[in-house]
């Protein structure tokens, strides 16, 4: 009887070979899969805008960091000096955000903002800890793949809307139906996400190791371009253009970009022209014409993308076998001279065409508070009231130049900023600019920290890309990662990109790639362990950060979930449970106004107006500049039978939000 061999076979499967393959390729696949799933998960959760979603991500990430640092599994020794500088800058921004709680007009909002920053810091710390040359490549490829998948889902939601869940936001956002937003729920955010991924996809199309990878990446370019077009996001389009220009400027072998850019541009022109001609599809209508045109666009997009993929594959095979002309390989010096000459020609041409006067006219147009609907907005420069938002942020900074008005409180400032009459009736939570909102809420110091961090990432990426030898693949990767970071930096200056979690997460993953281990043959080798106590210093720092990060994220998360559970109990008509959950929330966050406001609403539903008035009064004490607390108190006082107190509370609410149509005089 023959003894069984070590390589057992079952149903024709060599289990030994499978185990070997898993051991060999499993870690690499996991290194790609985790960032891919993180980005895709946040996209499918409306960009991670909801505080519950981002908090759960933050808790999971910080637990990984804590356990990994404590067990010595997390290779913190991989963090480079520039990585520690970046981590220090962003960590200092988190600390300053925490200190801002002390002078904020809403401790609850500021603690929530600290939780957001702490979550992002956890993403950055974890990504830095596992970097290396191959890990960097996998991370960038994962973001490229995830953004490509998101673009495909977004197009399917317009071409065949019955295949995917309905977009609920369309019910209460007038004029939003014609702007593609699925799955993020915000058209500008979708456009900005695609802008971040676009240079990474072009990099894969030009520098992918496999011909199949290059073909698929090239085919994704037209689909991503069509997605940005259908969002009608001028900021997204601008960010994508600047990111591609940055990629071309930083890429060590720019000639390699010609093919994917040319094929991608040709395919993009075809599908965008087809979409423009199908107005019902383009405008997001829900009639039979839109359904028919959507099916046509699906078929056309598949044909165009498939054709682009085949052309890319044919060129790749021809190049492999030495068929066809060889493109020139100009030196960096020659390229720099050509770029300088081109810039001078463009400058003189612009001056001759009257560019200064046109810029002045466009700036005046941008300052107008209105907006333009439909595809016409792509040729308009109206700012959709951004000028008013930014001016109000500057006014807020003027009151507290160095420390700001407090994290997360711009909404309260803008609501009572009566000088901005052009913004009458607008509800605004964010200043639509990370930099100006930070200047308002965290002052010059906070602005210097966040702008310094983003600038440090961009400059380091550019320097590293130029410093490496042109033949080093890491140079092209750094160029793509830096270009993606440029897209975020632009988006963050024009919109509330910081609050849409998926966008800063992509940026921080790319920042980890940029600030990670240097390229070269030793890039993926851990440095020699230091003797004595010094080898525990990086692990100790990460462990301490993890504990602090967990606390910063978990406290507002616990309060928020208790309030959410109370609201769910109210919908189920279980007032006793609703009151218990609201009180739990106030025990977790005694400084927060929303748990007391929730208690007031529960008491009001139960007819106990005295207790309701007491809880609502406590909410106004904890958050005295939130007009909603005073408005609810006014209603409860009226129900309680105290008209004088009701009028006084109503007057306070109106003084805190005088522009609201709710308080408009008849």
* pLDDT tens digits, 501-534: 999 999 999 999 999 875 433 444 445 444 445 4
Report which of residues 364 and 445 the model is more confident about. 445
- 227-241, 289-303, 311-325: least confident range: 311-325
Backbone angles phi, psi at 5, to 5 degrees: -75, 165
Q: Structure pTM?
A: 0.90
Distances (CA, A) of 376 to 221, 234, 273, 385, 471: 24, 11, 15, 17, 45
Report the percentage of the chain scoring pLDDT > 90.
Answer: 63
CB-count exposure of residue 328 (10 Å: 0-12, 13-18, 19+): exposed
- Spatial contact of 58 and 514, defined as CB atoms under 8 Å apart: no
Residue 531 has what pLDDT? 47
What does CATH list as the number for 593-663? 1.25.40.10
- The rounded distance, in Å, linking the Cα atoms of 598 and 570 is 10
At residue 261's C-alpha, the angle toward residues 260 and 266, to 5°, is: 100
Average pLDDT over residues 147-160: 95
Kindly give, in sequence order, each residue whose CB lies less than 8 Å from that of residue 179, ignoring residues fewer than 6 positions away: 187, 230, 231, 232, 233, 284
Please write the tens of the pLDDT for every residue from 235-246: 999 999 999 999
Query: Where residue 603 falls among pLDDT bands split at 50, 70, 90?
Result: very high
Average pLDDT over residues 391-418: 92
With CA atoms as reference, report the closest residue to 206 among 595, 475, 549: 475
Domain boundaries, the chain: 170-320+476-495, 593-663
User: Is residue 648 over pLDDT 50?
Assistant: yes
CB-count exposure of residue 621 (10 Å: 0-12, 13-18, 19+): exposed
- The rounded distance, in Å, linking the Cα atoms of 121 and 358 is 42
Average pLDDT over residues 293-321: 88
- The rounded distance, in Å, linking the Cα atoms of 414 and 462 is 37
Distances (CA, A) of 587 to 354, 449, 534, 614: 64, 33, 41, 17
User: Is residue 6 over pLDDT 50?
Assistant: no
- Spatial contact of 580 and 554, defined as CB atoms under 8 Å apart: no
């Amino acid at each position: 009887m023959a003894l069984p061999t070590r390589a057992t076979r079952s149903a024709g499967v060599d289990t030994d070979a499978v185990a070997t393959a898993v051991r060999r390729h499993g870690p690499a696949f996991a290194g790609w899969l985790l960032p891919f799933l993180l980005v895709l998960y946040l996209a499918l959760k409306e960009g991670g805008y909801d505080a519950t979603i981002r908090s759960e991500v933050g808790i999971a990430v910080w637990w990984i960091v804590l356990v990994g640092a404590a067990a010595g599994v997390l290779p913190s020794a991989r963090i480079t000096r520039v990585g520690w500088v970046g981590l220090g800058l962003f960590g200092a921004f988190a600390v300053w955000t925490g200190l801002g709680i002390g002078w904020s007009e809403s401790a609850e909002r500021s603690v929530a903002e600290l939780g957001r920053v702490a979550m992002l810091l956890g993403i950055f710390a974890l990504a830095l800890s596992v970097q290396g040359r191959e890990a960097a490549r996998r991370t960038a490829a994962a973001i490229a793949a995830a953004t490509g998948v998101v673009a495909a889902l977004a197009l399917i939601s317009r071409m065949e809307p019955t295949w995917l869940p309905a977009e609920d936001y369309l019910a209460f956002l007038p004029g939003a139906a014609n702007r593609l937003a699925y799955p993020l729920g915000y058209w500008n955010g979708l456009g900005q996400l695609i802008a971040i991924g676009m240079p990474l996809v072009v990099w894969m199309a030009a520098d992918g190791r496999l011909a199949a990878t290059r073909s698929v990446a090239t085919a994704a370019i037209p689909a991503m371009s069509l997605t940005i077009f259908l969002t009608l996001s001028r900021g997204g389009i601008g960010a994508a253009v600047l990111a591609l220009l940055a990629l071309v400027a930083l890429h060590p072998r720019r000639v390699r970009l010609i093919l994917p850019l040319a094929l991608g541009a040709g395919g993009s022109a075809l599908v965008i022209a087809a979409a423009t001609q199908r107005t019902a599809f383009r405008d997001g209508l829900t009639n039979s014409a839109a359904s028919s045109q959507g099916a046509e666009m699906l078929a056309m997009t598949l044909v165009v993308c498939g054709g682009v993929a085949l052309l890319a594959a044919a060129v790749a095979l021809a190049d492999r076998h030495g068929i066809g002309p060889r493109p020139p390989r100009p030196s960096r010096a020659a390229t720099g001279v050509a770029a300088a000459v081109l810039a001078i020609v463009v400058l003189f041409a612009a001056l001759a065409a009257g560019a200064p006067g046109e810029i002045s006219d466009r700036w005046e147009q941008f300052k107008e508070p209105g907006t333009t609907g439909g595809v016409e907005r792509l040729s308009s420069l109206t700012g959709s009231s951004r000028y008013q938002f930014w001016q109000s942020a500057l006014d807020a900074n003027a009151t507290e130049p160095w420390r700001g008005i407090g994290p997360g409180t711009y909404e309260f400032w803008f609501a009572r900023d009566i000088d901005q009459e052009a913004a009458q009736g607008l509800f605004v939570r964010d200043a639509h600019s990370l930099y100006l909102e930070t200047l308002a809420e965290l002052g010059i110091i906070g602005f210097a920290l966040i702008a310094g961090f983003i600038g440090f990432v961009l400059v380091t990426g550019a320097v590293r890309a130029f410093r490496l030898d042109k033949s080093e693949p890491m140079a092209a990767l750094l160029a793509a990662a830096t270009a993606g970071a440029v897209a975020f930096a632009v988006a963050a200056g024009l919109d509330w990109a910081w609050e849409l979690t998926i966008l800063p997460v992509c940026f921080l993953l790319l920042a980890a790639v940029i600030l990670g281990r240097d390229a070269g043959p030793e890039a993926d080798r851990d440095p020699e362990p230091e003797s004595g106590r010094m080898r525990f210093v990086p692990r100790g720092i990460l462990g301490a950060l993890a504990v602090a990060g967990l606390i910063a994220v978990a406290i507002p998360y616990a309060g928020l979930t208790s309030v959410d559970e109370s609201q769910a109990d109210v919908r189920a008509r279980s007032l006793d449970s609703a009151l218990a959950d609201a009180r739990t929330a106030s025990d977790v966050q005694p400084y927060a106004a929303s748990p007391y406001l929730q208690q007031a609403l529960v008491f009001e539903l139960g007819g106990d107006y005295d207790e309701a008035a007491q809880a609502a009064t406590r909410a106004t004490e904890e958050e005295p500049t939130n007009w909603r607390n005073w408005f609810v108190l006014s209603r409860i006082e009226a129900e309680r039978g105290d008209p004088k107190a009701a009028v006084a509370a109503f007057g306070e609410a109106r003084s805190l939000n005088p522009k609201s149509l709710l308080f408009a005089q008849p």
